[in-house]
A = this chain, B = another copy of it.
Amino acid sequence: MTTAKKNSPSSVSLDRLSIGIDIGGTGTKFGIVDRNGNVLFSSEISTRGHSEVESFIDELHTQLYTLIEKAGGPGRMRGIGVGAPNGNYYTGTVEYAPNLPWKGIIPLAKLIQNKFQLPTVLTNDANAAAMGEMMYGAAKGMKDFIMITLGTGVGSGIVANGHLVLGHDGFAGELGHTITIPNGRYHVGTGKYGSLESYASATGVTATALEMLDKSDEDSLLRKIPKAKIDSKKVYEAAIENDKLAKEVFDFTGKILGMALANFVMFSSPEAIILFGGLTKAGDLILKPTREHMEENLIKIFENKVKILISHLKESDAAILGASALVWEMKD
């Protein structure tokens, strides 16, 4: 794969490249990316298979180094960006990540930097996603936006004045845990009640569907599925078959998400909110009530101003692009 560029061939070959590494609970994706967001080379290793972080770093080095050499060698690399759950930008550490095999505080940026001898910067996966959107995606050219990932959980990355909002400790942007319904649904992971994540995630949609099935006698396609097998995908499939209860599940989810988004808008007044992740595949089923209820809760000065956009980055590339985008922000 090569890149279409306006520069002369010689300047193309001199352009520096960026390495993006996205560490997930199951697998770790990595790739080499140019300034225009083309993933030139990419590959993946298992995260779960390495109970020790050292053996993980060793395999990462072996596999990634092959790509680096294909792409012109380490001299052409500007640096390495890493997105990881519970990643802290300031310290370069991953702290108590429940989904990673390594416990405690892991100095991941330092381990990678020492191994590759390339400057390395790390942040949490949602912040990395936001950087990817700003550099290559739906937020290109924006200085104020909020990225929300609606997957199994709800993640977020906030950009204000053109920079990630990291907070004094590097942990800003936990919008999934903001309380949207006081004394609302219990969240097993946090022990709190009524957080956005407990409603507006794949897990939340499933919980809402089960609750609605319990509370009403309404007929529904979902009643034909054993309860243990109902998930957000099944609810979606029923909703596009025009199943009333399934559609109500998305209406309810959108209502809560919309109200939460209104609150985020009144905090940082973003130009747009970018949504990413599994739930966005439900399209207008969820977007329509979300937009409606966001507007309903906004005071006049914000009405009809804030765009809700769906990320258009390829899902397979997005994680690598996000992590690699951190590199272009590095100071030399």
Binding site for B on A (CB under 8 A): 95, 142-145, 158, 160-161, 163, 165-175, 177-182, 190, 192, 259, 262-264, 266-271, 297, 299-302, 305
State the majority secondary structure of interface residues on A. Answer: loop
Chain B residues with Cβ under 8 A from A178's Cβ? 262-263, 266-267
Q: Which of B174, B175, B182, B268 contacts A165 (CB 8 A)?
A: B268
Q: Are B268 and A172 in contact (CB under 8 A)?
A: yes
A301 smallest CB distance to B (angstroms): 5
Docked Cα-Cα span, A245 to B151, in Å, equals: 45
B161 touches A142 (CB 8 A): no
Closest CB in chain B relative to A174 CB, distance in Å: 4
Give, as a whole number of angstroms, the nearest-CB distance from A94 to chain B. 12
**Cβ-defined contact, A271 with B160, below 8 A:** no
Distance A165 CA – B178 CA, assembled complex (angstroms): 19
Q: Smallest CB–CB gap between A90 and chain B, Å?
A: 11
Q: Quick check: A171 and B301 within 8 Å, CB to CB?
A: yes
A173 cross-chain contacts in B, Cβ below 8 A: 267-269
Say yes or no: A168-B144 contact (C-beta < 8 A), given A163-B161, A177-B299, A192-B299: yes
Q: Report Cα–Cα, A263/B181, bound state, in Å.
A: 12
Do A168 and B263 form a contact, CB below 8 Å, given A177-B299, A190-B299? no
Which residues on the B side are within 8 Å of A160 (C-beta)? 160-161, 165, 167, 172
Residues from chain B with Cβ under 8 Å of A174 in the complex? 266-267, 269, 299, 301-302
> A142-B168, A166-B161, A171-B301 in contact; A182/B259 too (CB < 8 A)?
yes
B179 & A268 in contact (Cβ 8 Å cutoff): no
Beyond the given pairs A175-B267, A190-B299, 20 more chain A to chain B contacts, judged by CB atoms under 8 angstroms and listed by A's residue number, are A144-B167, A144-B168, A160-B161, A160-B165, A165-B165, A170-B269, A171-B269, A171-B302, A172-B267, A172-B269, A173-B269, A174-B266, A174-B267, A179-B259, A179-B297, A181-B182, A182-B182, A192-B297, A263-B263, A267-B268
CB nearest to A190 among chain B residues: B299
In the complex, residue of chain B having the shortest beta-carbon distance to the beta carbon of A172: B269
Q: How far is the CA of A12 from the CA of B297 in the complex (A)?
A: 52
With contacts A158-B267, A160-B167 known, is A190 near B305, CB below 8 A? no
Contacts of A143 in B (CB 8 A): 168
* Residue among A142, A169, A271, A300 having the largest count of chain B Cβ atoms under 10 Å: A169
Instruction: Pick from B145, B161, B181, B264: contact of A267, CB below 8 A.
Output: B264
CB distance from A48 to the nearest CB of B (A): 24
Q: Which 9 A-B pairs have the closest CB atoms?
A: A167-B269, A172-B269, A168-B271, A144-B168, A178-B263, A174-B266, A160-B165, A177-B299, A190-B299
Residue of B whose beta carbon sits closest to that of A142: B168
In the bound assembly, the distance between CA atoms of A143 and B170 in angstroms comes to: 12
